[in-house]
Structure 1
Amino acid sequence: MNVLTRTCPCEKRTATEHQPHRSLVLASNRAHPHNLARLRTLLHRRAANRPLVPITPDEPAEPLAHVLGHPQGADFIGPGADGLLRAILTEALTSKIGVSWIVATRYDVNALWADALDDTLLTKLSSRLHVTETLEDAIERLEFKADTIAALSIDHRPLTNPSVLWLASPGPDADVVHQTLQQWPGDNLIALIAGSWPHGPTHFINHDGPRALPHQPINLPSAQESATQLRSSTAYP
C-alpha cells in the first residue's frame, strides 16, 4: 500500500492563521464555562438515549474436518500429521454436530492411537467410529451406505446429512479410494488420507500445527505472465 503524505501549501502561516474560521469560533466558545456545562449535558443525554447493542455469543468454530477436508480427499504429511488427524477425529467423535460417523481400518486406528484406544473404549465409540479389518471392508461399507442414500433420495437428489469421515492410508490403492469418493452421492464424504495422495491437496503439518500461509496475497502467474515480469525486470532503463 502506498502512503501519500501531503504537505500544507501554507507552511509559513502561524498556527492561528492556519486554523479555519469555524475552528477559531469553537475555540473561543470553549473558553466560557456556561458553554462547557451545556456541552456536558448534551453528551450525557446522548449517552443515556443511545440504544444498547445486543451482545451475541461467538459463533461456534467450523469443524476441523470441514476446514481441512476436500471433495477429492486431502492428505496430511509431516511430523505433526498424526497429531492433527487425532485432533480432527477426536473433535468429530466428541462433538454432537457436524459429523455423523467415521470409518477407518484397524491398522489406521492403531497407527494413530496404538494401545491408547483399547477394546472397551472402541466398543463405546462403535456407534460413530466404524472400525474395519481391511480397506476393502471400509469401501464395501461406504458403497452400501451410498446405495442406501441413493434409494432414499428424492427426485434423484441425495438427502442432506452430516459429514462422514473416512480415514485411510490407501498407498497403491489410491485410485480405488478416489473412485469410491467420486461415486458417493452428495458432497458430505470427507476422506482424510495418511500418506501420499495424488488426487487432492496435501497439508504439510509441522510439530506445532499446520504451516501458516503467507499474510500477503499471492499471485500465481501463467508462464507468459511470469516471462513478461522477468523481461521487465531485466530490461535496461
Structure 2
Amino acid sequence: MSAFKEALRQGADGIELDVQLTKDGVPIILHDPDLYRVAGIGKPISSFYFSELKNVKVGRKFLRSFAGHQIPTLREVVSFCEMNGLALNIELKETVSERPEYLRDILDIALLLDNIHLSSFDPEILELAKKLEPSIETALLVKKKTTDWENLLDYSYADGFHFHKRLFKEPFISQLSASGKLLRMYGVTGKEIFVQEPPPFIHGWITDFPGRFKNEKKDIG
C-alpha cells in the first residue's frame, strides 16, 4: 500500500495495479506470479492460501523501511481508492486467466468503485469480463508482435488500448488513433519529448513518477 499512498501524495489521479489469485481464489495485488522478488520465496502465488500469505512479509528486499509490509487484497485497495477519490486500473494477470471462474468475484469487488477499468494482455479474459459485465470499461494491452494491428476494430470487447511508449511511432500510433478507442500510454517517466505537447488522442498516462509527470505538464501549461 505504500506505493499507492505515495502516488496519492504526488498528486496522481488514479492508480494501476496487478491482480493475482491465491489458491483459494482471493484476489491480491502482486505483479509477479511468485513471491521471489518481494519476499525471496520462489513458490507460485497460486500455491498459497490467503491465510498463509497474511504471514508473509514483503518489501525488505527493496528498502529496509518497507520491511514487515503485507500483500494487500483487491478489496483493500478499492476501499483506499474510494476514500481518496482515485480512479483504478486493474490489470488481470496470469493466475486470473488460468482460473476464469473467479472473474465474477473480481468484478463484484471492482464495481464497488465508480471510476474503474480492467486491462489485460489476455484478450479472452477481457472478452469474458465484457460478457459478464457489459458496462465495465476494458482495455487490451497491445504488443508489437502478437496484436493484429491491421484489424484493431475486431477487438470489439475492448473499449480501449494500453500501449508502451515504445509503440509511439509509425505505423502503430496511426493505427491506434484511427481505432477511435480510449488510448492510454504506459512506461512514461515525464522526461519524454512528447510530454511537452501531449497528443490529444491520449486519454491517460501510466507512470511510476506521477509527481514528475504532473510537474512537467504544469511547466508547459
Q: Which has the higher strand share?
A: 2
The structure whose RCO (Cα within 8 Å, separation 6+) is larger is: 1
TM-score for the superposition, normalised by structure 1: 0.30
